[in-house]
Amino acid sequence: MTKSKASAQAAHPLTLIPGPVEFTDEVLAAMATPSQSHVSPQFVEVFGDALALLRQLFFNTDKRAQTFAIAGAGTLGWDFVSANLIEPGEDALVLHTGYFADSLADCIATYGGKPTQLKAPIGDIVTLDAIETALKEKKFKVVTITHVDTSTGVLSDIKSIAALVRAVSPETLVIVDGVCSVGVEEIRFDDWDLDLVLTAPQKAIGVPAGLSIFIASGRALDVFRARKAPPTSYYASFAKWLPIMQNYEAKKPSYFSTPPVQNIHALLASLKQILAVPLADRFAAHARMSDRIKATIASYGLKQVAVREGYQANGMTAVYLPDGVALPDLLPRIASRGIVLAGGLHKEIATKYFRIGHMGVSVTDEDREDFDKALAAIKESLAEAGYTI
């Protein structure tokens, strides 16, 4: 059991997985906000401020775009894309760098879209040449990119992919699954001409799960308005939610479905902490920690799942197990030292690797020693399991 020098939280195992992550005291205190009407002046102010600060997180100033924070999981963002931006029978190009592309493709198909997956080898990226070839062969309504696939730790270059899409198929919408990247990796929504970036709060944003967070461009909203048929979801509908978000950001009470009041308070608390320092400094801190963890893992003789330097996530690391060591041999030993890591997720290699999450307060709070403890626990546990470093 571990208690941070800088935290008033009770001693607890450190959660160092690719989400949920550790939370700050201020965020947890905000989750304890007493009951409050979702249309009270006090809450309207909080919600409006949170939506405005999300624009800063996404580097957005174009007011034709809109930020959203809706009760649900990050997965709900897929439903918004599939039900609002793709009409039945329309084609979607899904760039596959791991487990979550399969799930997103399944969601698109559920709403009647026609997903085409462009698959990279496990641990690798989809190349720009392959993307260009696919875009020239067929007209796609959307291209979806998993910025960081949590199953592999592969980091996609969304800036370059978006520029390619604009050059080859400018009407195609660029959709980014940023669940494991927002708050860790740079995403310049306006400058890179993106159309929708979706995320969840329990990763680098550092807020307990319960929100679907995303930003949609003016172009994406125009595509929605030009639909031939109504959206194919009742709850995940821009028709229902766009005016709600616009009203709250304008500090006007509004109602379609009750927002999770406490989660929104926690979101605002976290965004204020995140934006109190330049985002460039935050990204740099995560990059430094990522480099340290990856170098230490390599010094143990272990290999990453993500194979290309420069295309490895800064908020997590997926690590192959050494020969002779299985997940049941390793993770419980690490857990006995007060460190919770994650097993594999990619269905083709799930039993062959484990994952470390390094994002949020565990990285940015210089008084914490979370990764000193984690790296020591991994080393000691490998030795106990019979592996010689």
Boundaries of domain holding 41: 25-274
- By DSSP bridging, strand 173-177 and strand 196-199 are parallel
Last residue of a domain, one of 245, 274, 303: 274
Q: Is 355 annotated as a binding residue?
A: yes
Q: Which of 222, 263, 343 is nearest to 70 (CA)?
A: 263
**363 and 334, same structural domain?**
yes
Give me the pLDDT at residue 11, please. 92
Say if 7 falls within a structural domain.
Answer: no
Whether 115 and 159 map to the same domain: the answer is yes
Query: In this structure, are 86 and 39 located in the same domain?
Result: yes
* pLDDT at position 241: 98
State the pLDDT at residue 53. Answer: 98
- Taking only the tens place, the pLDDT of each residue in 262-286 is 999 999 999 999 999 999 999 999 9
In terms of domains, do 269 and 328 share one? no
Are the C-beta atoms of residues 260 and 211 closer than 8 Å to each other? yes
Q: Are residues 233 and 366 in the same domain?
A: no
Residues of the chain above pLDDT 90, percent: 97
Task: List, for residues 235-248, the tens digit of each pLDDT value.
Answer: 999 999 999 999 99
The whole-number pLDDT of residue 72 equals 98
Residue 1 domain flag: no
What single letter denotes the amino acid at residue 63? K
- Express as a percent the part of the chain with pLDDT over 70: 98
Domain count along the chain? 2
Say which residues have a Cβ less than 8 Å from residue 188's Cβ, sequence separation at least 6: 59, 159
- Helical ranges in 138-234 per DSSP H: 158-168, 218-225
Instruction: Render pLDDT for 361-385 as a digit per residue (tens, 0 to 9).
Output: 999 998 999 999 999 999 999 999 9
Residues 99 and 185 in one domain: yes
Contact 358, 16 (CB under 8 A): yes
Give the torsion sign (CA, 370, 376, 379, 381). negative
For residue 1, pLDDT beyond 70 = no
pLDDT of amino acid 6: 59
- Residue 76 — pLDDT band, cuts 50, 70, 90? very high
Please count the CA atoms within 13 angstroms of the CA of 100 that sit on its side-chain side.
23
Would the pLDDT of 2 be above 80?
no
The reply to whether 262 and 350 lie within a common domain is no
